[in-house]
Amino acid sequence: FMKKNLSDPYEVNLMDELTLKGVTQYYAFVQERQKVHCLNTLFSKLQINQSIIFCNSSQRVELLAKKITELGYSCYYIHAKMAQGHRNKVFHDFRAGMCRNLVCTDLFTRGIDIQAVNVVINFDFPKMAETYLHRIGRSGRYGHLGVAINLITYDDRFSLHKIEQELGTQISPIPRTIDKALYVAEFHQEPDSDDD
């Protein structure tokens, strides 16, 4: 099809433009009913500048956003079933820093390009490597430090295995304490190139 219809095509692989470099990836093992508890503890322990929390369905986005609000954290939410205009407004306001947390489904087709987001949480683990990369990956321009935390249930074991294999990446068990240098800008030490 390509050969017949395109003359001298310029092939672009968007997967190549997204990188997991600079993003430290962890998983926490949970049961479905422990996820909200786990998330609440993460909120209290992590130094979040801005966070994005991904769910696998629009309904779960709404349920989770409601729960997060009950827990006393502010959050915005967007999902595919909302009108585009409304979505754009919410995303614009989030980008402008008007709210710390955003709960959403897979709306980002080219990775997250918001500098202020230093924590991404997969409340629901995706099934496809491409989805994972779009959620966690950064485009080259903004490839910078951040931490991704995946809530993994026993049912997610095959997806976890597949995604690690396909992306050639490693998702490690979450340590007792997460080094702030990995995701908090003020704590990040650039390697010294000159000695003085």
Partner 1 sequence: RKPNDRNDDCFNQHVCDIIESEFDFEYNLSLFDKAAVFEEINSQLPNEG
State the residues that interact with partner 1 by CB under 8 A: 28-38, 40-42, 44, 57, 59-60, 63-64, 66-67, 70-72, 152, 154, 157-158, 160-161, 173-174, 176
Q: For the chain, report the end-to-end CA distance as a whole number of angstroms.
A: 60
Farthest CA pair distance, the chain: 62
Residue 26 or residue 108: which is nearer to partner 1 going by CB?
26
**Minimum CB distance to partner 1, residue 87 (Å):** 23
Q: Which residues does 196 contact at the CB level (< 8 Å), separation at least 6?
A: none
Distance CA 144, CA 183 (A): 9
CB of residue 69 vs partner 1: minimum separation in angstroms?
Answer: 10
With respect to partner 1, which residue has the nearer C-beta, 36 or 102?
36
Q: CA-based angle 107:138:133, to the nearest 5?
A: 60
Q: Which 3 state secondary structure label does DSSP give 98? A: coil
Closest separation in Å from C-beta 29 to partner 1: 4
> In terms of CB distance, is 69 or 115 closer to partner 1?
69
For partner 1, the closer of residues 47 and 57 by Cβ is 57
